[in-house]
Amino acid sequence: MKVVGFEFNNHLRLGMVEGDNVVDLQEADPKSPTELCEVLRQNNGNLSSLAHLAKRAPASAHRPLSAVKYALPVMTPGKIICLGLNYLDHVKEGPQRDNIPKFPSIFFRVLTSFVPHLTPLVRPRESIQLDYEAEMVAIVGKRAKHLTMDNALDCVVGYTCANEGSVREFQRHTTQWGMGKNFDRTGSIGPWMVSADELPKGGRGLKIMSRLNGKTMQSDNTDNMMFTLAETLVYLTKGMTLNPGDIILTGTPSGVGHARKPDPVWMKAGDVVEVEVEGIGILRNPIEDEK
C-alpha cells in the first residue's frame, strides 16, 4: 500500500497510489481525514480503513500522479527524529572518524526544514555548503514506550525516503548539529509512504542511493547500518514516547558532498537531486537559491 499526501484545488488531500494514478480518498468520503497522522491516531496504526475507502471510490476520484502537487507523506509529525553516523564508511569520511559511536547519535529537525517530492530545495544565502544525504525513513503508527528487540518493529507502519540536506558550514560551528540541519527548505521527504507489510522487516536489505544530476553519489544497502531500526527504536523509547505520525530518519551512507576529493561537491541552483530506496521509490527535488 502506498499512501500519498497531495494538494488539489488548494486543499490538502490523502490518496492511495495505484500505478500511475492516485485515488483521492476525500472523493470517497469527504469526512475522511486529510492527514495520515489523524488516520494513524484514530486507528492505532491500522491502514485498512484507507484500503476500504479506495475500493469504494468513484471513477472521478482517480487522478494521474503527474497532475498532482505532492505534500509531505506525514504533514504534521509530532517529532522528526534523526540518526547520524549510522553507516561506518560515512563515519570514516567525516570529522568523527576516530570516534566511532557506541550509541545511536540522535538529533532533531523542524518541519520547516523539509519540502515534499518535486518541490525545490533552497540553498541559503548564508552558505554555499548545501550537502545531500540519502536516508530511509520509518514512520511510527502507534504509541510506543520501553520497546524491546522482540516488539520494536511492531510500531512501524511504513517507510519513505529523505534527503537530509545539511548546511555543513553551520553544522560545524559547534558540537551541536541543530543549526546546520534546520535551515528552511534544505531537506525533503517523500514521495509517499509504503506500508511496512510490503518491505522486509525493519527495512533491512534495501539498496539506498543518491544521484546528483544523474550521477550516482551514494550507493549502499540498509543492511550496513551500524544500529538497526529495531535497536534505534529500543534506544529512543528508553526515554521518549513515540506517537502516531512521528518519523525517524535512519542515517546516510558514505559518498556525501563534503567528503569528495579533491574538492567537495555542494548542491547548487539548477541541480536536480534524487534519493532512491529499493521498494519505496524515488524522491526528486530541483535546487534553487534563496531569494
Write out pLDDT tens, residues 64-107. Answer: 999 899 999 999 999 999 999 999 888 888 787 777 889 999 99
| Model confidence at 189: pLDDT above 80 | yes
Beta strand 187-195 with 207-212 is: unpaired
Amino acid 217 reads: M
Give percent of the chain with pLDDT exceeding 70. Answer: 100
- Mean pLDDT computed over 159-171: 97
Average pLDDT of the residues of the chain: 95
- The pTM for the full model equals 0.96
Residue 175, SS3 per DSSP: coil
Contact 69, 12 (CB under 8 A): no
| Model confidence at 9: pLDDT above 90 | no
Tell me the domain boundaries of the chain: 2-70, 80-289
- C-alpha distance from residue 35 to each of 6, 235, 245 (Å): 10, 28, 10
Listed residue (181, 44, 51, 39) closest to 105, CA to CA = 181
Q: Domain 80-289: which topology?
A: Fumarylacetoacetate hydrolase; domain 2 (3.90.850)
- Beta bridge mates, 163: 134, 188
Residue with C-alpha cell 540518526? 83
C-alpha cell at position 94? 567525516
Specify the DSSP element, H or E, that contains 109. Answer: none
